[in-house]
Amino acid sequence: MTHLWPAPFSATPITHTQVVPGSKSLTNRAYVLAALAQGPSTIAGALRSRDTDLMRRALESMGVSFTDRGGVLEVTPGELRGADVDCGLAGTVMRFVPAVAAFASGNVRFDGDPRARQRPIATILQALRDLGVDVEGGSMPFTVHGTGSAAGGEVDIDASGSSQFVSGLLLAAARFRDGVSITHTGATLPSMPHIEMTLDMLAAAGVEVEATGHTWRVAPQPIGGRDWVIEPDLSNATPFLAAAAVTGGAVTVANWPARTTQPGDVIRGILERMGCAVSLGEAGQRHDLTVTGPERGGLRGIELDMGDIGELAPTVAALATAAATPSELTGIAHLRGHETDRLRALTDEINALGGRCEELDDGLRIHPSRMHGGVWHSYDDHRMATAGAIIGLTVEGVDVENIATTAKTLPGFETMWAQMVGA
């Protein structure tokens, strides 16, 4: 039975302060680095969500110990062993853990949700083969026949489908016997900020990476255990900031980092270009970020290459439906391989509610249009679900199908949203 969630409508400007849990991307990278480290690590502020729980269970099943000490995780690496890994629909699990499995003594079998079998994965599996790892299969399900070590060497990959192919190799590269040299050969490289995030965290773990253009070289070296502190998830914060933009209100997100590699930070400039006022208070390493929207109906459209920030596309597309002028979002052809084909899904759902969205080869063109209520399908995609919630703020009668899918990265989203709107 399909569950429909009546998206709260707000006839008045929203004023609210929101605390956002930790970053999924930072949490899962910290988990992998802690699992491969020479000594123990601690992780404070780790996100608890479906994606991060799947990563933790995958590593635990392979012999890594996680102990919760009052909200701080102690992670102790162990001798990696064979296991069955459930990837769910988590791109980080299906693309980061196979390289870890190369150092297990035994077979590590990977499977996941039905949609996971359609997500791009062959690139990283072939790359591991080229680095001397025995991999059976070219899509989900597949098996890594771990032998406790792997040779490494040079590998060329086309990471046009996902930057996670590069990050997945980089995170484990220092453990390969001969190190790893990765060269991206494709015409485009989406989500470069996520690769920068990986490089930043590797440096924090004491791993030196030589980067030249789209080539990364990592010599064999120890990965250090360390104390990680996870920032709030800025991409998960963007729907709340969008609420201020579309209702003419003011929303504050607490503890916004002063310096970050998270792509979600770019939302500040996007909202300013669309007519919002954005202020970042002074508070040391972390600030309170406040977005104040223009008078209702005064939001401006935007032309934007989102190649580096594709995960923000559903939020920006939802904003665009409330703008007074057209928007064009490009550089995001790779979103067709995400939790769903986000370009097709956004087009279909916006148009079904009376909007005017045109699907382009690499993006979306959205024109102002008076929208109406109806069912907004989520496609088991957390960011599609939150996009529907944003639209529901200014369009009465929007019912979001399977809002619970937001638990992939933000458990309790619907409760936070209702509290914000005062519903």
Give the whole-angstrom CA distance, residue 307 versus residue 332.
5
Residue 106 identity (one-letter amino acid)? G
Is residue 160 annotated as involved in ligand binding?
A: no
Tell me: is residue 49 an annotated ligand-binding position. no
DSSP track, 6-45: EPPP-SS--EEEE---B-HHHHHHHHHHHHHSSS-EEEES
Asked whether residue 235 is marked as a ligand-binding residue, the answer is: no
Q: Is the peptide bond before 257 cis (omega within 30 degrees of 0)?
A: no
Is 226 annotated to bind a ligand? Reply is: no
Among 196, 272, 311, 414, which one carries the catalytic annotation?
Answer: 311
Describe the crossing of helices 91-101 and 50-61 by its angle, rounded to 10 degrees.
10
**Annotated binding residue at 137?**
no
Helix, strand, coil fractions of the chain, as percent rounded to 5: 35, 25, 40
Has 119 been labeled as part of a binding site? yes
Torsion of Cα atoms, 399 then 304 then 291 then 320, to 10°: -30
Q: Is residue 109 a known part of a binding site?
A: no
Q: Can you read off the two tokens belonging to residue 274?
A: 């669309």
User: Is 41 flagged in the annotation as binding?
Assistant: no
**Is 117 within any annotated ligand binding site?**
no
**Does the annotation list 338 as a binding residue?**
yes
3-state SS, one letter per residue, for 257-288: ECCCCCHHHHHHHHHHHCCCEEEECCCCCEEE
Antiparallel, parallel or unpaired: β 142-147 and 105-111: antiparallel
The set of residues, in sequence order, having a beta carbon less than 8 Å from that of 11 and lying 6+ positions away, is none
- Quick check: is 311 catalytic? yes
Tokens at 123, concatenated: 């690139």
Two tokens, residue 277 = 């006022």
342 annotated ligand binder = yes
Can you tell me which residue has the tokens 């996007």?
Answer: 270
Is residue 25 annotated as involved in ligand binding?
yes
Alpha helices by DSSP H, listed for 289-396, are 313-321, 342-352, 382-394
Binding-site annotation: residue ranges: 24-25, 29, 91, 119, 162-164, 191, 311, 338, 342, 383, 408
Residues in the annotated binding site for phosphoenolpyruvate: 24, 91, 119, 164, 342, 383, 408
Detail the residues annotated as belonging to a binding site for 3-phosphoshikimate: 24-25, 29, 162-164, 191, 311, 338
Active-site positions?
311
